[in-house]
Amino acid sequence: MKKFFAILLFFLLTIDAQAQNSAWRTGVRDTSYSSQGDYRSNKKKYPFIKLVTDQPQENVKEKRNLVYSKSKDRKLHIDAFLPTQLCQTPAVIIVHGGGWRSGDRSQHIPLAQRLAARGIASFTIEYRLSTEAFYPAAVFDLKASVRWLKANADRFNIDTAKIAILGFSAGGQLASLIGVTAGVIKLEGNSGSTKYSSTVNAVINIDGTLSFIHPESWEAQNQNSINASAMWLGYPRTQRLDLWAEASPLNYAEQNKVPFLFLNSSIERMHAGRNDFQKIMDQKGIYTDLKTFKDSPHSFCLYQPWFDLMVDDIVSFIKKVFN
């Protein structure tokens, strides 16, 4: 009997040691990252920048605070920015950054407005951050949003064969993971309109890492640090390295079937795994493109003089891969 209880205690301690760190899931919204705060910080080094702001566009209909998913008392919201043209349009789901822990979908409303004005239906999305839920909750949310969009295609006049997902920073990692994990059951979740596929047709990655375990990654070079990625995954990098690999889009490169556009700042540590990913895509004959914005901060996508150039690159990519 004593031997039984000793084995049971060891088992329970092992399970507890491997449990995601609940202290990091505070339940309190982290507001440390915002466009205005980022602007104040970056203006010191880049005094010429101008933050692009929310400005409704002609020939664009806006439908804000729509609900795409419900779970008990929790509603997840999405904003729609729709061209008024009569023909079906491509669509882009836009995923905000903030280290999986902060930020919100309003960060990219200016981008959604401009893309819609160029004929691309655009959707800014809320997802559960790490203060509320660990990985893979955010992945489940984003896949639910893809299914919801397909279920409501007629409502938004979109072509379900032309859906792209775009993300900045942490959002870029998430968008990439959604793009490369079509059919990976453990990352699908069961919310939203499950009779529809969560497959997207293209990915636009704005300075989002492709790997947490690649030698180029910040995480690999700072293995003992408790950082935003650890707080999202729920474990230090010294534990559950398998989970860190599972959340790395590069791990699924061999099965990827969709084109990628990389829009990158001059901050090289944000691009871990990109070159290896592109080499694999070249071998598979899958189109990728890379645009680097010289002498730009990580968050260049929020500012002029880079914003208009970025919009042009996104529109050109969408036209190329969907026409």
Q: What pLDDT was estimated at residue 303?
A: 98
Helix (H) or strand (E) holding 216: none
For residue 93, the SS3 value is: strand
pLDDT digit string, tens, across residues 250-261: 999 999 999 999
pLDDT digit string, tens, across residues 108-166: 999 999 999 999 999 999 999 999 999 999 999 999 999 999 999 999 999 999 999 99
DSSP class of residue 91? E
C-alpha distances (whole Å) from 251 to each of 9, 163, 201, 237, 301 are 35, 23, 19, 16, 26
Check pLDDT > 50 for residue 93: yes
Q: What pLDDT was estimated at residue 109?
A: 98
| Amino acid in position 184 | V
Check pLDDT > 60 for residue 2: no
Higher pLDDT, 262 or 22: 262
Share of the chain above pLDDT 70, in %: 94
Q: What pLDDT was estimated at residue 223?
A: 76
Q: What pLDDT was estimated at residue 17?
A: 44
Check pLDDT > 90 for residue 86: no
Mean pLDDT, the chain, rounded, equals 91
**Mean pLDDT across the stretch 215-241?**
85
**Mean pLDDT across the stretch 213-226?**
81
* 32, two tokens: 């440390």
Q: What pLDDT was estimated at residue 55?
A: 96
Could you tell me the domains of the chain?
Answer: 52-322 (3.40.50.1820)
Pairing of strands 74-83, 60-71: antiparallel
Share of the chain above pLDDT 90, in %: 79
Q: Name the least confident of 27-31, 167-171, 201-205, 272-276.
A: 27-31
Q: Name the least confident of 68-82, 203-217, 221-235.
A: 221-235
pLDDT category at 18 given cuts 50, 70, 90 is low
Residues 125/68, Cβ–Cβ less than 8 Å:
yes
Helix (H) or strand (E) holding 111: helix 109-117
Q: Kindly give, in sequence order, each residue whose CB lies less than 8 Å from that of residue 69, ignoring residues fewer than 6 positions away.
A: 75, 76, 141, 144, 145, 148, 191, 192
Q: What pLDDT was estimated at residue 317?
A: 98
**Mean pLDDT across the stretch 226-255?**
92
For residue 47, the SS3 value is: coil
pLDDT category at 10 given cuts 50, 70, 90 is very low
Check pLDDT > 70 for residue 249: yes
pTM of this structure: 0.92
What DSSP string runs through 279-315?
HHHHHHT--EEEEE-TT--TTGGGEETTHHHHHHHHH
Q: What pLDDT was estimated at residue 8?
A: 34
pLDDT category at 219 given cuts 50, 70, 90 is confident
Check pLDDT > 90 for residue 191: no
Neighbours of 138 (CB within 10 A): 25
